[in-house]
Chains A and B, each alone.
Chain A
Amino acid sequence: MSDSIRVVIVDDHSIFRSGLRADLDETVEVVGEAADVPSAIATIREKMPDVVLLDVHLPGGAGADATGGESVIRGSAPTTARFLALSVSDAAEDVVRVIRAGARGYITKGSSGVEVSKAVHAVAGGDAVFSPRLAGFVLDAFGAVAGETAAVDDELDRLSAREQEVMRLIARGYAYKEVAAELFISIKTVETHVSAVLRKLQLSSRHELTVWASERRLL
């Protein structure tokens, strides 16, 4: 592995792939591209990238209600690659489904190349990427707004008080660094909290997750 991050872009629009490829900064190396689910799985097997930039909606997904992005993550299951979901204006339902399938976060396609590169670095380092919208959604879905707080940290269906604080600041548009400064904790601790929230989002069986997701749109 070299010092630059190896990335595979999976999107069914060639114009978007080439645009993104041109925009990513030099610390990110694009080693492959794919346009549908089977070719994406094959490319990920072959190139073994660090990060996969994955469109939520892809052709060739298995099953009628699968979004495609989900199928790619499940299809390339034993892999070291980490997934970052890309979306244009998808229903929260679809984004949450891809995250629950294993993506480490999501960013919008309107994000600039610098933002995408930053997110790629974060995901490659094992961190989660939360947009303000996703943070707002999480606060809503885990009942934090209604005042529900986890009594113990490993409770899956609720957020701890600290996690709520972090999510609230992210929803207000704070970067991790600013969250850390605001709460007088280290950036590493912020990242730990965010990863914990992501884990809860992936593992929780809270029924509101799907209800909220189908009623609302993240974008």
Chain B
Amino acid sequence: MSSSAQHPLVPLARPPRAVPPPRPELTRARECLISGTAEGLARHLGVSTGLVRAMFIALTVLSGAGVLLYVWCWVFTPWEPGKSAPSRKAPVAWVLLAVGALLELIMLQQLGTGYMLGVYLPDLGVDGSMPMLLDLGILLLGPVVLLVGAALWADLIDRIDPTRGPRQAGVVRGIAVVLLVVMVVAMVARPTGPVLLLAPFAGLLAMFASSLMHRWRELSGERVRRIREEQRSEMAAHLHDSVLQTLALIQNRAGASSEAARLARAQERELRAWLYDGDAPADSDLPTDLRDYAGALELDYPVHIDVVSAGLSTERASGELAAAAREAMLNAARHAGGEVSVYIEGSTSGVDVFIRDRGAGFDLDEVPGDRLGVRQSIIGRMRRAGGSGTVRSDENGTEVHLRIAGAPLRSEDA
């Protein structure tokens, strides 16, 4: 129903605005008293929460219409978008439990006396055993329903609430079970109809069923996870046996630096990452970063880069060391090609990176001054970062050694 249609019918207390702003969506608040229904409705209608609550209570007096409306709104209103678990301010489970316990006390006191809530039943013109049984049954149902309701609320709704959780659920359920058992014992001890015993038993059963439902849900979730894991490892085994072998063979037969071999190697790397590292968190530490960069270089240049790492590196991928190492790898791929070895060693005293190629080599002193690659991007960068960079080159290839000490790095981090 649009808001404009309401205007002629419902006189509003405030003067109607010319252009009403769009109403907030009808959603239930995650920070709520009981279910967030009243809060959500109030927000949507632009009135105070208290007013909406008062309306529900007032309607309840009209033969329970308010309760029905409340439940209807509750069921059909979604939670407002967000990730946090809903947190309820009202201790609904405890209130239900307390009221249930109180009713049970009254009931137990008057069990078999002919009184109901302090009124002598025969006074009301109720006599004979059958009607009395019926009334007692209704009296019995009150505490049973409340106790079961408390236990179910604590178990199914409050369990995910971070401020309550499974511990509260256990306590509430324990108290509810004890109260029901007391009820059964009291009823057996006094002369009541055996049919009435069904009520507390049904209550106990309902509580038990809710915990069974939990187990079942957990079990089926576990099963789905296991099946997924099995399928994944089966697939990994199959791909390992077929595709990876073929890719290795292609590289082998096509020659190290041919286009086909490079493509096969890139594919192999991708597949392997998917097969084995899929679950691992994508941490961007130095070895992982340089490995990724090596993969990218292999696609662009006829080069085969082998990245080996030892020790644990505290060095970040964004650091100067990584930038210098990437520059050195790029130089090796561009000028030398063929086989390039990268070795990263991280220890407590510092991090070392070696980049070695098998190219023709060059003389650092003969590199013209306007070429900034080696002098600025590698050696200069390392010196500015407080480390060192050395380049050793002869006819058998070039090796760049980058080193950064561990101690100053840590004080910089702190």
**Is B246's CB within 8 Å of the partner chain A?**
yes
Beyond A89-B268, A171-B343, A173-B343, whether A146 also contacts B311 by CB under 8 A is yes
A89:B345 contact, CB within 8 angstroms: no
Contact residues, A98-155 vs B (CB, 8 A): 108-113, 132-133, 135-137, 139-140, 144-147
The winner among B251, B309, B310, B354 for most chain A CB atoms within 10 A is B310
**Is A217's CB within 8 Å of the partner chain B?**
yes
Which candidate, A13-21, A27-35, A75-83, A194-202, is the interface stretch facing chain B?
A13-21
Beyond A23-B252, A88-B245, A89-B244, whether A136 also contacts B272 by CB under 8 A is no
Give chain A nearest CB distance to B257 CB in angstroms.
11
Beyond A145-B347, A168-B345, A173-B343, whether A108 also contacts B248 by CB under 8 A is yes
Give chain A nearest CB distance to B120 CB in angstroms.
76
B276:A136 contact, CB within 8 angstroms: no
Which single residue of chain B is at the shortest CB-CB distance from A55? B245
Give chain A nearest CB distance to B291 CB in angstroms.
11
Q: Which of B240, B310, B354 contacts A145 (CB 8 A)?
A: B310
**Is A172's CB within 8 Å of the partner chain B?**
yes
B339:A145 contact, CB within 8 angstroms: no
Beyond A89-B240, A136-B310, A146-B348, whether A110 also contacts B248 by CB under 8 A is yes
A172:B354 contact, CB within 8 angstroms: yes
Q: Which of B252, B347, B399 contacts A110 (CB 8 A)?
A: B252
A19:B252 contact, CB within 8 angstroms: yes
* B343 cross-chain contacts in A, Cβ below 8 A: 132, 136, 168, 171-173
Q: How far is the CA of A15 from the CA of B339 in the complex (A)?
A: 26
A140:B399 contact, CB within 8 angstroms: no
Q: Which of B246, B347, B354 contacts A15 (CB 8 A)?
A: B246
**Is B346's CB within 8 Å of the partner chain A?**
yes
Q: Which of B272, B308, B349 contacts A171 (CB 8 A)?
A: B308
- Contact-residue bracket for chain B: 35 or more
B251:A145 contact, CB within 8 angstroms: no
Main secondary structure of the interface of A (DSSP, over half): mixed
**Is A62's CB within 8 Å of the partner chain B?**
no
Q: How far is the CA of A145 from the CA of B256 in the complex (A)?
A: 32
**Is B327's CB within 8 Å of the partner chain A?**
no
A146:B347 contact, CB within 8 angstroms: yes
Which single residue of chain A is at the shortest CB-CB distance from B237? A57
Main secondary structure of the interface of B (DSSP, over half): mixed
* A13 cross-chain contacts in B, Cβ below 8 A: 241, 245
Q: How far is the CA of A217 from the CA of B308 in the complex (A)?
A: 11
**Is A208's CB within 8 Å of the partner chain B?**
no
Q: Which of B245, B272, B310, B345 contacts A137 (CB 8 A)?
A: B310
* A219 cross-chain contacts in B, Cβ below 8 A: 272
B244:A173 contact, CB within 8 angstroms: no
B308:A133 contact, CB within 8 angstroms: yes
B249:A19 contact, CB within 8 angstroms: yes
Q: How far is the CA of A57 from the CA of B246 in the complex (A)?
A: 15
Q: How far is the CA of A144 from the CA of B241 in the complex (A)?
A: 35
Give chain A nearest CB distance to B403 CB in angstroms.
13
B249:A145 contact, CB within 8 angstroms: no
Beyond A111-B252, A113-B252, A173-B356, whether A136 also contacts B240 by CB under 8 A is no
Q: How far is the CA of A57 from the CA of B245 in the complex (A)?
A: 12
| A169-201 contact mask (Cβ, 8 Å, vs B): 1 or 0 | 001111000100000000000000000000000
Which single residue of chain A is at the shortest CB-CB distance from B309? A136
* A147 cross-chain contacts in B, Cβ below 8 A: 347-349
Binding site for A on B (CB under 8 A): 240-241, 244-246, 248-249, 251-253, 255-256, 265, 268, 272, 275-276, 306, 308-311, 339-341, 343, 345-349, 354, 356, 396, 399
The 6 closest A-B pairs by CB, nearest first: A173-B341, A145-B311, A136-B308, A109-B248, A136-B310, A140-B310
- The contact sample of 10 A-B pairs, CB cut-off 8 A, is A13-B241, A89-B268, A89-B276, A109-B252, A112-B256, A132-B306, A133-B306, A145-B347, A173-B339, A217-B276
Binding site for B on A (CB under 8 A): 12-13, 15-16, 19-20, 23, 57, 88-89, 91, 108-113, 132-133, 135-137, 139-140, 144-147, 168, 171-174, 178, 217, 219
Name 14 extra pairs, CB < 8 A, besides A23-B252, A23-B253, A109-B249: A19-B253, A20-B252, A57-B241, A89-B244, A109-B252, A112-B255, A136-B309, A136-B310, A139-B310, A140-B310, A147-B347, A173-B339, A173-B341, A173-B354
